[in-house]
Chains A and B, each alone.
Chain A
Amino acid sequence: MKASPKIEKEVIESCKAGDQKAFSEIVLHRQKKVFNIAYRMLGNLEEAKDLAQEVFISVFESIKDLKEEIKFDAWLTQVTLNHCRNRWKYLKRRHYFNSDSLEDPIETEDGNMPKAICDPSDNPETLYEKKLIQELIQRGLLKLKDDQRELLVLRDLQGLSYEEMGELLGLPEGTIKSKLHRARMELKEVLERSSH
């Protein structure tokens, strides 16, 4: 995963002083990261966009409370995860995800039949397969527990180090590693179950 360009300390300070331009610069630099975390955590583009905007509104309102500018990225990720957790709970209460399951039957002309999960490795060159893999992974992620999904998104999709993750989640690296491994194995199980 391509690392986001580092935001200058001066920009953050200007933003803290209420500079709209500096805020826009921060948004432009970090919108993709925030939006992608939101999308992988929620699995819906519209929800992800709305959530990402809420995250930046929170940043705009509370950046003055940020004491160490150097930790801006960790702070931004933390704000994003908090919003994602709250939104996930909110959507879950409204059974938002119930109708979108890997086990859900797909209605065809011949009637209902289980959704076929093809192995993308059979034909890796096709774009369709690539898209299929992305969709497969996204559905698998949504089948995991919140904390497991968080770990996979942060480590395997966002490329955070164990140190950063430990700081962010307030857990020792060993715990992060073991939890992450269980999350990966769980995702493997989910994908296997869905392909059979």
Chain B
Amino acid sequence: MVCEKVRNRFSSLWEKELTSVEEKEIREHLSSCPECRREFEQFEKTMQWLHSVEEVEVPDGFLPELHKKIEERKTNATLGGRPTGKWFGLPVSVKFPAQAVAMVAIVFLVLYLSKMMPTEVYQPKEPKQTSSLSSPEQKPGQVSVHKEAEADRKVLGKPAETSGLKKDVDQVATPAPVEKRVEASPPYMKAEGKRRVFDRSAEASRQKKDVDQVETFAPAKKREEAPALQMKAEAKKEVSSPKSEIVSRQAIDLGEQEKAKIASPEPGLSGKGLAFVAKEKPAVTFEKSVVTLKPPQEIVLRISDREKVVSRLQELVKEFGGEVVAMEGNMFVASLPTGSFSDFEKEVAELGSSRKADKLVQKKQALGSLRAAPGMRREDAPKPAADAEGRLTIRILLVQE
């Protein structure tokens, strides 16, 4: 028997798994082969040593420590300390597709956002751009479009808005005189009030239209060329004109306003006319309407004999090359050449029965102007409103003493 074959049977020989014949053959070879005999002796010794190995005792506190570990694991699992471990414990066959899907999703998300972002940023700007386009600087063609839109809105306007407007007007402190002024306006002015618009561009176009139709409203033409944001400031400047010694409409105190209100024959129309203004931007647009409708010069005249003063006024107007535009109740409106205004003003002042009182009113107005003017530049100081042909509208309020 070959040595290799004998050595391969050492385990079987040692465990006594061989048949008696096989065992006899191997034992015979071992007795005749010293190398194989020595190998088997070493093998036998190793097996004896291996089987002599005793079991090691379990360290003390094995079970309590085990319970403690289990409790810690439970606590960690409750606190959510294990989810990451679970993910890392997942097989690659699960993790890889999940990661691939996540990557694709991220790429699509980035592409989607990169495409959507400019649009989203742009969209909110569109309304702004539209509104800026509809500023007074808008071109005539665009203005006409707005006029049409305005006409449509007027048709669709609800009567209920009128009361809403009245409310808004009452809440705004500054527009109070304007409201009264509109109410006290002659019929043609009230008609203009009805056509009040809520769009600035339309307002500008309306101003132009007004200039064409009514000469006395010419000053508005200058304003339609001014930027929309300066409209409010201009209105204030006009109120605080240092040149005007006459009591302007805005300077009239509350008591006088009440008087004018009583004198107004059609107080309801102004509110209706401003309804569309209040609907969209009450504060800003309302002030703009003030600018548009505001007569250039106003005079409060305290009189004792109305008939006499009126006839004298008519004469004076003719004398200074002007014409009487309207005369109704206590309101006398005339159109005069700009150059003759100062003289006309003096003459009118002579007609007043109580010059002292008028002067007091004028003085009060002057103080008010100073208060309103601090931030105003010298060159910005308002000039008497006049149209392109050098004519001036003068409104005289006759107050019976």
Residues of A within 8 A of B (CB): 1-2, 20, 24, 27-28, 31-32, 35-36, 39-40, 45, 48-49, 52-53, 56-57, 60, 120-121, 130, 133-134, 136-138, 152, 156-157, 177, 180-181, 184-185, 187-188, 191-192
Asked whether, in the complex, the Cβ of A60 is within 8 Å of the Cβ of B70, the reply is: yes
Q: A53-B66, A57-B73 are in contact. List 15 more A-B contacts (CB 8 A).
A: A24-B67, A27-B63, A28-B63, A31-B62, A32-B57, A35-B56, A35-B62, A45-B59, A57-B69, A133-B49, A134-B52, A138-B53, A156-B51, A177-B12, A185-B43
Task: A166 to B49: give the CA distance in the assembly, Å.
Answer: 25
- B50 on the interface (CB 8 Å rule)? yes
Please, which residues of chain B bring their CB within 8 A of the CB of A187? 46, 50
Contact A192:B59 (CB < 8 A) given known A60-B70, A134-B53: no
How many residues on B have C-beta within 8 angstroms of the other chain's C-beta atoms?
29
Top 5 A-B pairs ranked by shortest CB distance?
A181-B11, A188-B46, A35-B58, A53-B66, A156-B50
- B320 on the interface (CB 8 Å rule)? no
Least distance between A194 CB and chain B CB atoms (Å): 12
Please, which residues of chain B bring their CB within 8 A of the CB of A60? 70
Please, which residues of chain A bring their CB within 8 A of the CB of B63? 24, 27-28, 31
Please, which residues of chain B bring their CB within 8 A of the CB of A35? 56, 58, 62
Please, which residues of chain A bring their CB within 8 A of the CB of B174? none
Cβ < 8 Å to A, chain B residues 62-119: 62-63, 65-67, 69-70, 73
Least distance between B13 CB and chain A CB atoms (Å): 10
Task: A138 to B50: give the CA distance in the assembly, Å.
Answer: 9
Asked whether, in the complex, the Cβ of A52 is within 8 Å of the Cβ of B62, the reply is: yes
Residues of B within 8 A of A (CB): 7-8, 10-12, 42-43, 45-47, 49-59, 62-63, 65-67, 69-70, 73
Asked whether, in the complex, the Cβ of A184 is within 8 Å of the Cβ of B53, the reply is: no
- Which A residue's beta carbon lies closest to that of B43? A188
Contact A181:B62 (CB < 8 A) given known A1-B55, A130-B52, A152-B50: no
Please, which residues of chain B bring their CB within 8 A of the CB of A157? 50, 53
Task: A65 to B352: give the CA distance in the assembly, Å.
Answer: 113
Please, which residues of chain A bring their CB within 8 A of the CB of B62? 27, 31, 35, 49, 52-53
Asked whether, in the complex, the Cβ of A180 is within 8 Å of the Cβ of B11, the reply is: yes
- Which B residue's beta carbon lies closest to that of A136? B49
Contact A49:B46 (CB < 8 A) given known A156-B51, A157-B53, A180-B11: no
Please, which residues of chain B bring their CB within 8 A of the CB of A120? 49
Asked whether, in the complex, the Cβ of A184 is within 8 Å of the Cβ of B11, the reply is: yes
Please, which residues of chain B bring their CB within 8 A of the CB of A48? 56
Task: A188 to B46: give the CA distance in the assembly, Å.
Answer: 6
- Which B residue's beta carbon lies closest to that of A33? B55
Asked whether, in the complex, the Cβ of A53 is within 8 Å of the Cβ of B53, the reply is: no
Task: A36 to B11: give the CA distance in the assembly, Å.
Answer: 24
For this complex, 7 residue pairs linking A to B, each with C-beta atoms less than 8 Å apart, are A24-B63, A31-B62, A36-B55, A53-B65, A130-B52, A133-B52, A187-B50
Least distance between B73 CB and chain A CB atoms (Å): 7
Please, which residues of chain B bring their CB within 8 A of the CB of A134? 52-54
Least distance between B38 CB and chain A CB atoms (Å): 10
Task: A128 to B51: give the CA distance in the assembly, Å.
Answer: 17
Contact A191:B11 (CB < 8 A) given known A36-B55, A39-B56: no
